[in-house]
Every structure is written in C-alpha cells, then in structure tokens.
Amino acid sequence: MLTLIVPGLIWTRQALADLTYDLPLPALSTLLGKGRLRHHPARDTATLLAESTGIAAPLPAAALRWYALREHPGESECLCLDPVRLHFEQRSVIVDTPQRLALSEDEAVALAVSLTPTFAALGKLEMIQPLIWNLKLSAAAPAFPDLPSAIGRTAPSLPLESAYAPWRQAISEAQMQLHTHPVNLARQAAGRPVVNSLWPWGGGRLPVALDGRHDAIWSSSPIALGIARLLQIAGSALPERYAGTSARAPLAIIDTLEQPARSGDAMLWRDALARFEADWLMPALQELRSGRLDAVRLLAPDDAASAELQVSRGDLWRFWRKPRNVSELARA
C-alpha cells in the first residue's frame, strides 16, 4: 500500500469548489469516488507521521533530525532552536517561512557563534544546517509550539509561568543581538530578509524504535528521515513523481501544497495540485489498475478537520460509484 500524507490539500468546501472547478483532476476524482473517505478531528502532519510510524506524539523533532543529519544523540534531551524572521502584518506578528531567509553557511555560523553564550545556561547550541539549529539541553525544557504549524500565522507569546522565564530572557537577549548583528546589517543593506529571532520547539529524547507499518519513507523533512533511520527502514528524499517501487508499504510526505495553502496563494496552490495529480495520483491509479499496487491511502491534515481516503484495487470495480468532486475532502 502506498500512503501519502499531503498537508495543504484541504481548504473549506466552498473554497475547494471554487479553486478546482475548471481544474482537470481525473485521478483524484476517481479515487474519491471509488474509495472510502472518512473525516477525522483536526490533526497536523507531525501527528499523522507519528501515528503512521508507531511513535508517540509529540515527535521529538530535534533528536530525530539530529539523528538523520549528524549522529545518534544518545540519551541527551534536545530542542530545536531555529533562526526565524518575524514580521508585522495588520497589527500581528507573523512567522515567515524560514526558507525565505536563504541563509548561507557562513552567515549561519557567524550568527550561531555570537548567540551561543546567550543560551549557554540552557544548553549547548549546535548549527546542523543553516536553518536547522539544535540545543543539547542542560535540563528539561517546557513545551513550545511547533515551528512548522506556526509558519504563516500569528506568533504566540511565551507563557508567563516560571518555567519559561529563562527562555523569555534568553530569546529577548538574542533578539537584541540579532538586531545589530553584522550579518543582519549586511542583509538589510542588500534588501534581504533578516533573522530577528530564534524559535524553540520539538524537544525530547530519541524514542525507542517500534515495528512500523512502512518499509520506506520518502520526504524532504529530516524529521521523517530520522524516523526512517530509527526504524531501520529505507529513507530518502521525496521523488519528483511516483514511478513504482520495490517497497511493500512506502510512506511519502508531499508538502508542495502546504505553503501556498498557508499563504492563501490560490494560483500557486492550483499549480501544485495539478502537479500532484500528474506526478503522483495518476501514476498511482495506473499502478492500482494494473495490479502492481494493492491500495492507496491518502491522509490530509488540517487545522479544522483532517481527511483519510483509502482505495483498494477491488474498489475500482465498483462501476456504480461515480467520480466525486474534490470539495468532498472538506467538511461542510
């Protein structure tokens, strides 16, 4: 069975109807018509990934991506501490997409070296990649909102509880340092976005490996690839398209619709949906019809209500079931 986790696929029912009314989506419509569609409460990508791989939520993102990109973190408790840009938009502070920073290795190193003393009392700062920073904690940290779920939305303030006091102080000091840092001054002079804060999230230890239902994971996320390494299954970057596989039960996380959906960029989202149809759903439907694939399972996370669609080879023989509109993915 091929399992696809596709964040950003669901909008409101009316929005989906308006966005796709003239978009040819024969494979998706056929799969919706033939398969079994169920709606669930709101779930995000991380929750679906945890459920699909047998790992308890919330995922310890820092430890998993450390394992994927560097080494086994041992028994250490880790925390993501990623560089971000916060910007004002209609009286709100919005979390910008980190990729827009396009930090170079040299820039990230210079920033991390300057900020390391600021967080020394909380842990050891490690720059794994320009946009991926971890803190090996000196002591357990409180819970923080996930960065992926916050992108494009209003940044929440840290709680006023005493457990967050050292974190409020350290982040506030970091923001002041970043404001006058030579890297940011040079970026600002060049008209490029600046790093003006750090985002703590995804804390925890590497979990104990369990028997997963998948034998391969395809994703651009180091968190997902860390899970693959933990489960000792194949893990690789997301292919451009589905072209069959020797894996018995691969899991693919297709995130190309997520940012257009978050930013409300309808045209970019439509383009991404058309590519998803052509590169993944159409080949998967062909494999299903030919018998080379037993089933397709599509999981669509959303803040309001998530959806699950499962289609087996036998379902395609239900000639009386007609294609359904994509808007059926959303609750009314």
> pTM for the complete prediction?
0.92
CA atoms of 163 and 143, how far apart (whole Å):
10
Side by side, which strands form the sheet with 250-253?
Answer: 36-43, 302-312, 295-300, 2-5, 250-253, 216-218, 234-236
The whole-number pLDDT of residue 35 equals 95
**Model pLDDT for residues 15-59, shown as the tens digit of each residue:** 999 999 999 999 999 999 999 999 999 999 999 999 999 888 899
The whole-number pLDDT of residue 208 equals 79
The whole-number pLDDT of residue 242 equals 95
The whole-number pLDDT of residue 211 equals 66
**Model pLDDT for residues 82-136, shown as the tens digit of each residue:** 999 999 888 889 999 999 999 999 999 999 999 999 999 999 999 999 999 999 9
Q: Does position 210 have pLDDT exceeding 80, yes or no?
A: no
**Model pLDDT for residues 278-325, shown as the tens digit of each residue:** 999 999 999 999 999 999 999 999 988 899 999 999 999 988 889 999
Residue 188 sits at φ, ψ, to 5 deg, of -65, -40
Q: How far out from the chain centre does Cα 307 lie?
A: 17
In sequence order, what DSSP letters do the residues of 195-261 get, joined into one string?
--EEEEEEEEPPPPP---S-SEEE-S-HHHHHHHHHHTSEEEPPPSS----S-SSEEEE--TTHHHH
When the pLDDT of each residue in the chain is averaged and rounded to a whole number, the result is 93
CA atoms of 152 and 211, how far apart (whole Å):
35
The whole-number pLDDT of residue 331 equals 67
Q: Residue 150: which pLDDT band, with cuts at 50, 70 and 90?
A: very high
**Model pLDDT for residues 151-203, shown as the tens digit of each residue:** 988 999 999 999 999 999 999 999 999 999 999 999 999 999 999 999 999 99
CA atoms of 62 and 78, how far apart (whole Å):
6
Q: Residue 75: which pLDDT band, with cuts at 50, 70 and 90?
A: confident
The whole-number pLDDT of residue 332 equals 60
**Model pLDDT for residues 241-272, shown as the tens digit of each residue:** 998 888 889 999 999 999 999 888 999 999 99
